[in-house]
Structure 1
Amino acid sequence: MSVFHSLWTLFSYLAPFLFVLGLVVFFHEFGHFLVGRLCGIKVDAFSMGFGPEVAHYTDRHGTRWRLAAFPLGGYVKFHGDASAASNPDFDAAESMPESERAVSFFAQNVWKRAAVVAAGPIANFVLALIIFTGLFYFDGRQILTPRIDSVIEGGRAAAAGFQKGDLVLSIDGQKIDDFLDMQRIVSASGGLTLHFVVERAGNQVEINATPERKDTKTPLGVNRAGVLGVSAGGGAQNWRRQTYSLPMAALEAGRETWYVVARTGAYLGGLVAGRESTEQLSGPLRIAEVSGEVAKAGIWPLFNLAAILSISIGLLNLLPVPLLDGGHLLYYAFEAARGKALTPRVQEFGFKIGLAFVAALMLVATYNDIVRLTRQWLNLG
């Protein structure tokens, strides 16, 4: 393999990864920035990336817009923050002139601070809605008729009585028009009994089936989901393209966003409860790999990946862990209930716990990435 080919391969994965991650991170941080500005808070720095500064620009408000060497995130540093994590600089606060305190983040009332912190994850959800709306409006959606083409012998569907040619009409009373909708319901219902209504030879037949919960490979890694044991016909006659007006595209985008929120939230909840495996966690290496592969399919799939990643990052940041946005909101909830902020000692201790949690999460995700890549290189599956 030539050096040129190796460099091109690296670029073909790195460029989509930086595009997807940069878009998601920028919207997240811009949410913090915009609401902070609206609340009259001075923004000292808006950084894309961490580490040594590569380029910068200072605007008329005194904000330093910087591009850093390591583009694996970003941050907004408000006046009075001790670090990019927005923990207060308690020592500096004691000697800060009143004019500076007035525009400092820590001096704002609890509701303004909460609004600024919540704006980041909210911006992630807004980005997803914008992307999904654009995808549905400009590209529509491919609909696969929910007709059973094959039933796996020995699977849950065969045991329940599904037959080739069955047309799925509804699941638990929900109308089914697309095989993808059926797959989504089944995948989220491992171990739960579902009530199907199918059309068979012109008659409606009711079937109760319980999807088997098992690990399956997806573009984002191993996913533990419900499996029924059926497939749809892939012929052109089974597909149709659905187009949407702008209002309907926005409505469909809301449904898509909620689906990703629900599935991601269910996984995070299952992870805490011990029902889900940490093997499904992915880090930067895996995201870069998936971005490169998705980019080969075109710009629309890459935007779709950005929307999914944006929702995931938004939800992750809402976890009630100090250092994350959700941890800050937890502090503010205590402050609103008590009528005064938690002591500096308690806050600093919480930030240390949060840092340890985030570091452990990144270590697990990176370990999973390395294991996956090693297995691929050794052809171990």
Structure 2
Amino acid sequence: MNTIIAFVIIFGALVFFHELGHLVLAKRAGILCREFAIGFGPKVFSFKKNETVYTIRLLPIGGFVRMAGDDPEVIEVKPGYHVGLIFNHNGEVAKLIINNKDKYPDAKIIEVEQADLEKQLWISGYEQDNDSLERFKVHEKASLVVDGSETQIAPYNRQFGSKTLSQRTLAILAGPVMNFLLAFVVFFLLGLIQGTPSEEPRLGELVSGKPAAEAGLKEGDVIKSVDGIAVDSWQDIVQIIQQHPEEELVLTFERAGSTNQVEVVPDLESDGTITKGVIGVYPPFEKGFVSSIVHGATDTVYWTKTIITGLGKLITGQFSIDMLSGPVGIYDATDEVAQTGVYNLMRWGAILSINLGIINLLPLPALDGGRLMFFAVEAVRGKPIDRQKEGIVHFIGFALLMLLMLVVTWNDIQRIFFSS
């Protein structure tokens, strides 16, 4: 149960901050954001604030911000329609009742002659038993009412496509950027709470049962030399020990003003590609606000480079698709990390946040990077690509991504539950 809670909190936070980036920059550009959703599928919980409906949906596999102009279904008011009009105190149309008009006895029913709900915001038509054509001003935040559900109209200047290329680019780019900022903040907080790694040749926390602890070394011991080689930094110690797995080494150290020596045999550790020696010691830590900021930045850069390198190996064939993990694999990894403590869980969440940001920046249809790629083409050719053609490309890309997720998830299930 704890793992489920941890997974939901971590994944929910990653998606929340990603979509929050889109929402904030879109609203700042004046785009009407109809919905801010965490998850997909049926709504579990929702509330409306100002113009936006905030929802939590059943399937926790992502999220979205539904912006005006990108709506999959647009309600049109066509000539010949019979609609009901409800007016505000200024005599402007505040609601257009599309169906079930009998439920609104105060509405004025007209047969539509023409309607412009995007630019000039008016509607004209004939009232029953009246041959006079009337024209009515429509308020910029008027609602279309279908089956009792209200949808705010989107004047062209509130639509995504009406904004400048830079505004649209920033609204899309803000999602991945927020993931990198979230990772930085988490690494920064870990630095404040735990401290940041120091380069002093001093031992940090020791792992019980490992060679260093078994040899009698203690946290705070200052290492002077390893097998006769003088060391001046923590990295010097690590480098020598990693190069001598399962070999006896003599460590000279200082404790409480006295110098001592001890023999240590590093364990052999391998990740399948790299073999190294380890003695079960963490680096020393120091606490400080500035050092925590530096730590947050350096860790964010480090994991960004590491993940990009991994993606490069996947593209060049050095990694196979079987090495990818989907939601099931991430859940299993989260379970393992959760057992090692809350700080490691926070670090894991930061790494996942960076991963989400990088994946979304890939120039693939249906991802943020795919949309940015279309913007780049627009910048070069001087005009946007046809929206219908772009929509088809994104739809196909989304279908392929869902197929990839199914394949990866199936591989996760086989590896976790059926591997011998």
Scaled by the length of structure 1, the TM-score of the pair is 0.71
The structure in which a higher percent of residues are helix is 1
Supply the distance in 1 between the matched residues of 2:326 and 2:337 (Cα, whole angstroms): 16
Which residue number corresponds to residue 410 of structure 2?
367
Q: Tell me the secondary structure at the aligned position of residue 77 of structure 1.
A: strand
Shift of 1:360: 3.2
Contact 1:35–1:119, Cα closer than 8 Å, also in 2 = yes
Q: 2:235 pairs with 176, 179, 185, which one?
A: 176
Contact 1:143–1:178, Cα closer than 8 Å, also in 2 = no
Which residue number corresponds to residue 43 of structure 1?
33
Contact 1:146–1:232, Cα closer than 8 Å, also in 2 = no
Q: 2:279 pairs with 233, 236, 247, which one?
A: 233
Which residue number corresponds to residue 192 of structure 2?
137
Q: 1:97 pairs with 104, 118, 123, which one?
A: 118
Cα 1:239–1:127 change in 2 (3 A) is closer
Which residue number corresponds to residue 58 of structure 2?
69
Supply the distance in 1 between the matched residues of 2:418 and 2:239 (Cα, whole angstroms): 30
Shift of 1:57: 1.1
Which residue number corresponds to residue 259 of structure 1?
302
Which residue number corresponds to residue 119 of structure 1?
174
Supply the distance in 2 between the matched residues of 1:182 and 1:335 (Cα, whole angstroms): 54
RCO higher in 1 or 2 (8 Å CA, sep ≥ 6)?
Answer: 1
Aligned-residue identity in percent: 29
Shift of 1:311: 0.2
Counterparts of 1:7-18 in structure 2, within 5 Å, are: 11-18=1-8
Which residue number corresponds to residue 99 of structure 2?
none
Supply the distance in 2 between the matched residues of 1:72 and 1:165 (Cα, whole angstroms): 52
Counterparts of 1:285-304 in structure 2, within 5 Å, are: 285-304=328-347
Shift of 1:178: 7.0
Which residue number corresponds to residue 309 of structure 1?
352
| 360-369 or 126-135: bigger deviation | 360-369
Which residue number corresponds to residue 59 of structure 1?
49
Shift of 1:169: 6.3
Supply the distance in 2 between the matched residues of 1:143 and 1:324 (Cα, whole angstroms): 39
Supply the distance in 2 between the matched residues of 1:374 and 1:119 (Cα, whole angstroms): 38
Counterparts of 1:71-220 in structure 2, within 5 Å, are: 71-83=60-72, 96-98=117-119, 100-141=155-196, 165=227, 176=235, 179=238, 216=271
Q: Tell me the secondary structure at the aligned position of residue 56 of structure 1.
A: strand
Supply the distance in 2 between the matched residues of 1:20 and 1:312 (Cα, whole angstroms): 13
Larger Rg: 2
Cα 1:355–1:95 change in 2 (3 A) is farther
Which residue number corresponds to residue 393 of structure 2?
350
Shift of 1:320: 0.2
Contact 1:16–1:288, Cα closer than 8 Å, also in 2 = no
Supply the distance in 1 between the matched residues of 2:66 and 2:373 (Cα, whole angstroms): 20
Contact 1:146–1:177, Cα closer than 8 Å, also in 2 = no
Q: What amino acid is aligned across from residue 77 of structure 1 in structure 2?
A: R
Contact 1:167–1:200, Cα closer than 8 Å, also in 2 = no
Q: Tell me the secondary structure at the aligned position of residue 297 of structure 1.
A: coil
Q: What amino acid is aligned across from residue 233 of structure 1 in structure 2?
A: I
Q: 1:280 pairs with 298, 311, 323, which one?
A: 323
Q: Tell me the secondary structure at the aligned position of residue 371 of structure 2.
A: helix
Q: Tell me the secondary structure at the aligned position of residue 158 of structure 2.
A: coil
Contact 1:168–1:176, Cα closer than 8 Å, also in 2 = no
Cα 1:179–1:26 change in 2 (3 A) is farther
Could you give the per-residue CA deviations for residues 294-344 of structure 1, whole angstroms, max 9, x where no partner exists?
222222111111100000000000000111000000000000111100123
Supply the distance in 1 between the matched residues of 2:378 and 2:75 (Cα, whole angstroms): 16
Q: Does 1:338 align with 2:381?
A: yes
Q: What amino acid is aligned across from residue 81 of structure 1 in structure 2?
A: D
| 289-298 or 74-83: bigger deviation | 289-298
Task: Give the superposed CA RMSD.
Answer: 3.5
Scaled by the length of structure 2, the TM-score of the pair is 0.65
Supply the distance in 1 between the matched residues of 2:313 and 2:52 (Cα, whole angstroms): 41
Q: Which runs of 4+ in 1 moved over 3 A?
A: 88-92, 141-147, 164-170, 177-183, 238-241
Contact 1:81–1:89, Cα closer than 8 Å, also in 2 = no
Cα 1:215–1:374 change in 2 (3 A) is farther
Structure 1: tracts of 5 or more residues without a match: 1-10, 151-163, 187-198, 202-213, 217-223
Supply the distance in 2 between the matched residues of 1:43 and 1:122 (Cα, whole angstroms): 19
Contact 2:231–2:237, Cα closer than 8 Å, also in 1 = no
Could you give the per-residue CA deviations for residues 200-225 of structure 1, whole angstroms, max 9, x where no partner exists?
99xxxxxxxxxxxx993xxxxxxx6x
Q: Tell me the secondary structure at the aligned position of residue 417 of structure 2.
A: helix
